[in-house]
Amino acid sequence: MGETAVDWPRKTRELRNHHMDSTVWNDFAFRDDDVIVSTYGKAGTTWTQQIVTQLVFEGDPTVPVHEISPWWDMRVIPPEVREAVHAQTHRRILKTHLPADALVMSPKAKYLYVARDGRDVVWSFYNHHMGFRDEAYALLNDTPGRVGPPLPRPDPDIRSYFRTWLERDGYPMWSFWENTQSWWALRRLPNVKLVHFARLKADLPGQVREIAAFLDIDMPETKWPTVIEHCSFDFMKAPAELYAPLGGFPWENGGDTFIHKGVNGRWRDVLTPEESGAYEQMAVEKLGPDCARWLATGEGG
């Protein structure tokens, strides 16, 4: 019997804003073994990039993730960074923050979509946004080609920041619900794997082995302890400049701001029950109960 035909997704729109330009994927020359790490943002992107990098490079602690694995649709990436990716001879690892319907996808490349409870995402984004230097705003807002309004300064009140993000679907960044839903819809594709921040926290060794199996990486058993150690948050926190985009330049405290706490639940003692409940109700309305449950817990994907 022949293989079952797969209904491969097709790009249906462009998404461009102060951070992103989806058009850069339109003529991207994929290789069959490319790995694309995708998230809404602040959901474990860099952590997952480190996991993939450690699997590809068999535990090498010196690999500069931010150099070899750039955010491909970030519109202000220097041309030389893109040229370096095209010239890479090892298995390539790229990241995107685009919803799936704004992304040109390859049926051969492997896609890891990493998710996290939206309340945790906002708390991480808040720290990220508050740490921006003046130079970061100039880079994002004044570089020619920006579509839409500039990135504003953050509201210093984190509860107000959260309420605005919820009420305006991701403002001042991009839509949270459409990003999550677009990838959830692809979860049955053979080259897409859903990963969840909470499960990485709960069982890092097991999750790393699952990712290795998905990527068809056969790691020598003797190298596993080193690989797992190098995928830990504590290990990544020490040489943070290896992981932060642009080497940590946009943030006041460099890579230490980008790689911050890596913990969940900081919102529990800040949000009121009504605010938290509004988020949970909207998650079900926007995503459906199954996806909302997976987004909150990592179970059921």
Per-residue confidence (pLDDT) for residue 251, from 0 to 100: 46
3-class SS letters over 247-258: HHCCECCCHHHH
Q: Per-residue pLDDT tens for 211-245?
A: 999 999 999 999 999 999 999 988 887 655 665 56
Where in the chain are the domains? 22-297
Give which of 112, 115, 116 is closest to 37, Cα–Cα: 112
pLDDT band at 262 (very low <50, low <70, confident <90, very high): low
Helical axes 45-56 vs 204-214, angle rounded to 10°: 60
- pTM: predicted TM-score of the whole model, two decimal places: 0.91
Q: Are 17 and 147 in contact (CB under 8 A)?
A: yes
pLDDT value at residue 101: 97
pLDDT tens-digit map of 163-179: 999 999 999 999 999 99
pLDDT at 2: 45
Cα–Cα distance, 76 to 161 (Å, whole number):
25
pLDDT value, residue 259:
47
Q: Measure CA of the first residue to CA of the last residue in the chain; give whole Å.
A: 29
How far apart are alpha carbons 37 and 40 in whole angstroms? 11
- What tokens were used for 122? 């906002």
Mean pLDDT of the chain: 92
List the one residue out of 8, 5, 71 whose CA is nearest residue 39: 71
pLDDT at 60 over 70: yes
- Report the distance separating Cα 257 and Cα 130, nearest Å: 9
Please compute the mean of the pLDDT values over residues 63-78 and round it to a whole number: 94
More confident position, 194 or 5: 194
The answer to whether 111 and 191 have CB atoms below 8 angstroms apart is yes
- CA–CA separation, 42 vs 114, rounded Å? 10
**If pLDDT is split at 50, 70 and 90, which confidence band does 1 have?**
very low
Mean per-residue pLDDT for 185-194? Answer: 97
In this predicted structure, what is the pLDDT of residue 198? 95
Q: How far apart are CA 155 and CA 145, in angstroms?
A: 26
Among left, alpha and beta (phi > 0; psi -120 to 50; other), residue 44 is left
Question: What is the per-residue pLDDT across 111-146, written as a single tens digit (0 to 9) for each?
Answer: 999 999 999 999 999 998 999 999 999 999 999 999
Record: fold of 22-297: Rossmann fold (3.40.50)
- Answer yes or no: is pLDDT of 45 > 80: yes
Residue 80 exposed, middle or buried by CB count within 10 Å (0-12, 13-18, 19+) = exposed
Show the tokens assigned to 240. 């943070």
Residue 6: pLDDT band (50, 70, 90) is: confident
